[in-house]
Each structure stands twice: as structure tokens, then as C-alpha cells.
């Protein structure tokens, strides 16, 4: 490495003081809009590729229905959940994260799990993954993470060294890495995987009481996974294995279903709970917050045109009817901006009016003009508010209860005071002996072409999560764990 240090700058040449931590109101957030560096990174990242999605480029989608089977009306005023038996139409899209449009469906990669519920009060978009956690907790690192998973700027090829260099320097990724390289890292089909909001969201009721929630979608078909060997074989036979399986199942009347559940934490408990409930790298133990039944999701209709309905589908976590909302989760706060910003760039400013995205309820707003305006553009009605010509007005009754925040605006080190090892170790210890063996083999295979100093750095993380975990990976790579332990001591 060169002895001369070059300091990172913004595009305007201003030196960046901290590229690891977003500016938040207090250590737990929320993120501040005045964080110019964060906004610049995210806006530039959204515009790096055209026309396919930067992430989640390859996917499969289908229409279906959601029916409420459990009473959660005490937590939310949303009409959808006002009584058992309510239902709505939905559109779901599943996707890989890192691969391009032509990539293999069976790659070891998290799967996007996005659902658009067309409720009578407007669209509710649940934008999640098939994992309950993620690799990072601060959005300032998101574009860096994705770059490390994409292609080497010199060779144009995927590079294990890039991936493990980032992960080994980001210990908060260990929980997700352990999940990804375990058995659930490659689902057998899209029908045989769970979905999670991953983020913490909120519900609020007519009394103004707020609850923090995590959403879970439990596959009725049961969890089924592929070994690394089977995944490689299938990739050589059918790049579209998952897409084909979902389409064929629905076409044959074999409609996949998921039981929808939530974990609920009263707002006041978040202040004293031992874990930061808004940390995307952590799960809430079910012993503390058990699953509560909400409803049943079924996919039962294939799209008629892939481009119009799947490729142009656009999900954004800010879409939620009254009674539902976001949380101070830093990653979620940034996604509230990033997702619609990416859609405006990729599809056009009027993306929300496309058939697959438009609500199934009346729409009244003052958005006008823009590229691909394909309707009447609201005719002669006024395009400003307030006005004297019966234009739509805001409704104070829909106001969300105030969120109390405190703290000095600064870039807080998100790793200070955070335990990045216990939950990863717990996940390892939950695995059977056979599952641990496959995890170690998968990790060793991915780490083999990586430089030794990065291997050593990553093994130290495994060891801190569980000594057996680190020892077995080290042994598989031909590294003497006692030497590493002695060096660390």
C-alpha cells in the first residue's frame, strides 16, 4: 500500500470527514436530510446503471390476494386490518440482489421479497428480503457494499476478494454472512422461502398509540433449499429455474401461499430494550416478541406481459395507508428516498401511474407533466394548493402521532457499543452438525481464492462469534487457529 494518503472528497471536491456513519439525531437516528454526503452518494448510486435495476435486477412476479385472518385492529387504524375477513389484491416480485438480468437464478444471494398491497386506502408496499437481517446498518455504506458484490472495475468480473475485503472490514455483516452461506442461502424455489420486512416498521391506532413491528411471511409450502452442488448444476441447465418454477406452478393452479405474521413492540419499550430495535443487522428474539398471526397471502395469477408488469413494477417503503409507517431505522430512512428516486430515474417521473403500480382507489394530487405523461394530465384542474376551485385538500385526521426524538446532530460511529457477534454465533449454534458442515464448506469454497490476510481477518470474526465456527473455517483453509488466537491475545 502507498505511503501517501489521499482524502476522499465529494463530487465538488470537499473533503469527506466521515464515510462510515450517517448524520443522525442521536445514536439511534433518524437520519437527517442535511446529510449532503449521504444524499449525494445515494443519488449517484441510483443513476449508475441504465436501464435495468442497480440491485434486484432479475426477478419474477405474480398477482394474488391477501386475506386478514388475525385481529390486529388494536395496533393500527388501517382499514385493511379493521376486521377479520377483509381482503385486497396484491402484486409480488421476488429477485436476486447482485446479479444482472441474465444471471442464474440459483446464485448464492439474498432474495428480494417485495409485495404491493392494493388497499382501499392506497397502496401499501412491503419491501423486504428472504432474510430477517442485512449486511449493514448504516445507509452511507450501502453503495460501497453493493459495489463490492458487483464487478471488478478493472476485469469486469465478479471477484471474491472484493466481497470478503468489504465483509471482513465490516463486522456488522457477520450475521447475514452466516445466514447467506448456510443452507438457506440458496432457496430451492421462490415458493419455498420465507420473507421478512427485515426493517422495523410502525403501526399506530386511533388513540395515537404507536407500536414497532417486524413483518414475517412464512411459506406454507415449507422451507426447501439447494446445496451448492445442485445449484451449480441447475445453473448450467436452466438460468431461469426460479422464474420458470413460479410461473409454471401458478399456470397449473398450484397457488403458493404465505402466512403473514408480525412481532410487536410497544413504542416505550424500545427505549430500554437491550438491543437497538432499529438495527437492521439484528433480529428480535421470539421469546421476547412472539409471532402474531395477521393473514394469508396467495399468488394466483401470472402477468400477461413481463416488461409491463414485472420489469416496470416499482415498490417503495414509504407507501403505506394511515395507521402504518416507518421507524427510525437508519437504513429504512434512507430507502424512503432512494427507492422512489431510483424509479423516477429508471422508469420516469410518472412511474406510479403505470397499471401495475397505480392504486385501486381514487387518486387526487397535484403532480403534473413530466416525461411519459400518458393520461389526461388532470385536464383543466388547478396544479397548485391551496386553490379556490375545489381542488383536493389535506386531511388532518390522517396525521401520524408525533415521534419523540432527541440527540445532537453528528456522525455517530455505528459500531461503538454494538455487539456484532452474539447473534451470528447464536445462528451457528442453532444449526445441526450437518448444517454446520455445509456452512463451513461453502465459506471455505468462497474464501479459497481470497488473499490470506483477508482470510485471517474474516476468520477472527467467525472465532469471536463462536470458537468452533472460526476453528473449523480456519482448518478448512489450512490455517492454524492457535496462531491467530495467540496473535489476537
Catalytic-role residue among 21, 37, 46, 56: 56
Q: Is 199 a catalytic residue?
A: no
**What confidence score (pLDDT) does residue 489 get?**
46
Average pLDDT of the chain, as a whole number:
91
Q: Copy the grid coordinates of residue 61.
A: 412476479
Per-residue confidence band for 404, with pLDDT thresholds at 50, 70 and 90:
confident
- What does the alpha-carbon distance between residue 397 and residue 75 come to, in Å, rounded to a whole number? 17
pLDDT at position 157 is 92
Q: How confident is the model at residue 184 (pLDDT cuts 50, 70, 90)?
A: very high
Give the containing element (helix H, strand E) for 46.
helix 36-46
The residue that leads in pLDDT, 371 or 355, is 355
Rounded Cα gap, residues 299 and 81, in angstroms? 20
Residue range 25-53: mean pLDDT, rounded: 76
Q: What pLDDT is attached to residue 3?
A: 55
199 near 331, Cβ under 8 Å? yes
pLDDT at 395 over 90: no
Q: Which one from 129, 350, 442, 460 is the annotated catalytic residue?
A: 129
**414 pLDDT exceeds 80?**
yes
What proportion of the chain, given as a percentage, has pLDDT over 70? Answer: 95
State mean pLDDT over 478-485.
Answer: 86
Put residue 136 in one of left, alpha, beta given phi > 0 → left and psi -120 to 50 → alpha. Answer: beta
In the predicted structure, residue 54 carries a pLDDT above the cut 80: no
For 448, the grid coordinates are 479459497
CA separation, residue 10 to residues 38, 148, 401, 469 (Å): 10, 20, 37, 40
201-204 and 324-325 beta bridge pairing: antiparallel
Which three three-digit cell numbers place residue 96? Answer: 436476486
Whether residue 42 has pLDDT greater than 60: yes
- Tell the burial category of 379 from Cβ atoms under 10 Å away from its Cβ (0-12, 13-18, 19+): exposed
- pLDDT over 70 (residue 322): yes
- Rounded to whole angstroms, how far apart are CA atoms 45 and 436? 36
* Top mean-pLDDT range of 31-35, 47-51, 359-363, 429-433: 429-433
Q: State yes or no: is 460 an active-site residue.
A: no
Identify the structural domains of the chain with CATH numbers, from first to last.
Answer: 23-158+187-361 (2.40.180.10), 422-488 (no CATH)
What is the per-residue pLDDT across 133-162, written as a single tens digit (0 to 9) for each? 999 999 999 999 999 999 999 999 999 999
Q: Using alpha carbons, list the distances in angstroms from residue 67 to 61, 90, 302, 354.
A: 19, 10, 19, 25
Q: Which of 195, 197, 198 is nearest to 218 (CA)?
A: 195
d(CA 467, CA 469): 5
What pLDDT is recorded for position 473? Answer: 97
**Cis status, amide bond into 101, omega within 30 of 0:** no
CA distance 86 to 181: 39
Amino acid at each position: 500500500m502507498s505511503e501517501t494518503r489521499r482524502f476522499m472528497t465529494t463530487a465538488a471536491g470537499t473533503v469527506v470527514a466521515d464515510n462510515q456513519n450517517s448524520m443522525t439525531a442521536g445514536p439511534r437516528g433518524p437520519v437527517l436530510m442535511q446529510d449532503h454526503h449521504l444524499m449525494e452518494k445515494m443519488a449517484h448510486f441510483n443513476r449508475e446503471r441504465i436501464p435495468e435495476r442497480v440491485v434486484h435486477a432479475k426477478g419474477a412476479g405474480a398477482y394474488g390476494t391477501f386475506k386478514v385472518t388475525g385481529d390486529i385492529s388494536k395496533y393500527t387504524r388501517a382499514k385493511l386490518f379493521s376486521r377479520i375477513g377483509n381482503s385486497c389484491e396484491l402484486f409480488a416480485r421476488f429477485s436476486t440482489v447482485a446479479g444482472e438480468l441474465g444471471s442464474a437464478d440459483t446464485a448464492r444471494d439474498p432474495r428480494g421479497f417485495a409485495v404491493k398491497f392494493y388497499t382501499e386506502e392506497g397502496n401499501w408496499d412491503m419491501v423486504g428480503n428472504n432474510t430477517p437481517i442485512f449486511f449493514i446498518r448504516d445507509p452511507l455504506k450501502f453503495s460501497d457494499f453493493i459495489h463490492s458484490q458487483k464487478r471488478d472495475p478493472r476485469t469486469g468480473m465478479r471477484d471474491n476478494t472484493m466481497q470478503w475485503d468489504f465483509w471482513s472490514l465490516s463486522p456488522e455483516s457477520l450475521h447475514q454472512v452466516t445466514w447467506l452461506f448456510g443452507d438457506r442461502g440458496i432457496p430451492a424455489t421462490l415458493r419455498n422461502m420465507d420473507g421478512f420486512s427485515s426493517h422495523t416498521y410502525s403501526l399506530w391506532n386511533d388513540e395515537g398509540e404507536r407500536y414497532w413491528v417486524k413483518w414475517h411471511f412464512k411459506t406454507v409450502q415449507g422451507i426447501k433449499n439447494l446445496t451448492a452442488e445442485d445449484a451449480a448444476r441447475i445453473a448450467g441447465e436452466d438460468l431461469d429455474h426460479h422464474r420458470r418454477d413460479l410461473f409454471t406452478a401458478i399456470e397449473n393452479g398450484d397457488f403458493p401461499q404465505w402466512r403473514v405474521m408480525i412481532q410487536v413492540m410497544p413504542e416505550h419499550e424500545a427505549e430500554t430494550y437491550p438491543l437497538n430495535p432499529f438495527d437492521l443487522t439484528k433480529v428480535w428474539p421470539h421469546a421476547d416478541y412472539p409471532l402474531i398471526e395477521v393473514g394469508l397471502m396467495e399468488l394466483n395469477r401470472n402477468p400477461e406481459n413481463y416488461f409491463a408488469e414485472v420489469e416496470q413494477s416499482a415498490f417503495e417503503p414509504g407507501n403505506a395507508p394511515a395507521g402504518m409507517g416507518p421507524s427510525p431505522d437508519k437504513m429504512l430512512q434512507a430507502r424512503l428516498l432512494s427507492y422512489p428516486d431510483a424509479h423516477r430515474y429508471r422508469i420516469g417521473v410518472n412511474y406510479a401511474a403505470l397499471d401495475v403500480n397505480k392504486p385501486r382507489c381514487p387518486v387526487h394530487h397535484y403532480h403534473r407533466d413530466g416525461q411519459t405523461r400518458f393520461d389526461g394530465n388532470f385536464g383543466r384542474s388547478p396544479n397548485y394548493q391551496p386553490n379556490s376551485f375545489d381542488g383536493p385538500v389535506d386531511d388532518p385526521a390522517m396525521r401520524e402521532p408525533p415521534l419523540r426524538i432527541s440527540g445532537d446532530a453528528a456522525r455517530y460511529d455505528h459500531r461503538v457499543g454494538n455487539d456484532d457477534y452474539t447473534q451470528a454465533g447464536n445462528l451457528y449454534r442453532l444449526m445441526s452438525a450437518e448444517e454446520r458442515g455445509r456452512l463451513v464448506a461453502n465459506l471455505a469454497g468462497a474464501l479459497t481464492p481470497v488473499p490470506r490476510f483477508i482470510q485471517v481477518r474474516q476468520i477472527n470474526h467467525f472465532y469471536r462469534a463462536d470458537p468452533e465456527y472460526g476453528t473449523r473455517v480456519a482448518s478448512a483453509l489450512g490455517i492454524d487457529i492457535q496462531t491467530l488466537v495467540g496473535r489476537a491475545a
